[in-house]
Amino acid sequence: MSMPLTSLPSPSPSFHSRRLPSEAVRRVLAAGEVPPGRSGRPLRLRAEASFPKCGTTWLKALAFATRNRAEHPPRGLDHPLLRRNPHDIVQYLELQFAQSMGHVVAALPSPRILATHLPHSLLPRRITAEDSGCRIVYVCRDPKDAFISSWFFTKKTVVAVAARAQAGEEPPPYTFVEAFELFCDGICVSGPQWQHVLSYWEASRRQPEKVLFLRYEEMLRNPASNVKKLAEFMGCAFSGEEEAAGVVHDIVELCSLESLKNMDVNKSGSHGPLAHESFFRKGVAGDWSNHITPAMAERLDKIVEDALQGSGLTFDVAAERSA
């Protein structure tokens, strides 16, 4: 399928040594305006970070449900996730400031929960500094699945944006293969996916108390274990009584991709120009094998392997565990 070329992220001059689209640069500059904590106190923030289409929606739901389980029990019939899309509950840091909505962030109760697609190196120092009181949870995903998920999401995005655009001359189309070439060249809205992952991997090695590095594939295999890890890192570990009562299981069930996908609120409505349902597809690992050729997979794997050389990071989890 072909899509309008104008829907692709256009490359811009490098920013802090990273090639980002001009719109992304604007959001980086805007995110630098993040306010301090109330009364001049250190900012307390729980940031959910990811490259686009790498588990963002799922992580938002899990983080919110875990952090707010006392006020909103996961079995509650009026739970916010039953009424609102995760993207309406947990806002993007860079979008809030790009839209001059910093006062909304400042008014949120502490610790605030926000999300970001920015690379770690481009986050405001108010967030990354040792004394900031902020913690970052990052989820990474196999680059091949990240590309496939981005491709399908972009198709939905193009349809949504085109429906709102004024009638005019149709822009030239681009194909699946062209999109793959751009992804391999690192021309993405948040820069090269593997560099994005690497920036948080290195940060988690330097500051394990401030950056938690999760893997999408491991979250799928063992969601309960990862939810407990998430809760402990955010400073709201589950008590023995909660675990015995099945609270961890309840959060996993409430926030499962299948559950979120089938909620009425996510079958209708929209987040900006995008229908809520566009944020959900298969939510599985390894779907790339149904869409790209072995040669394409080998090429992307080689690009990523070369980029991560010497970092200790690999997308072969089994090999990494034995290293």
The residues annotated as belonging to the active site are: 117
Contacts of 178 by beta carbon, 8 Å cutoff, 6+ apart = none
User: Percentage helix, strand, coil, to 5, in the chain?
Assistant: 55, 10, 35
Distance of CA 264 to the CA centre of its chain: 23
Give the C-alpha separation, 260 to 277, whole Å.
Answer: 10
Whole-number Cα distances in Å, 262 to 52, 54, 281? 22, 20, 11
Quick one: which of 229, 235, 234, 220 has its CA closest to 282? 220
**Which amino acid is it at 221?**
R
Residue 105 CA to residue 295 CA, distance in Å, equals: 46
Q: Are 167 and 134 in contact (CB under 8 A)?
A: no
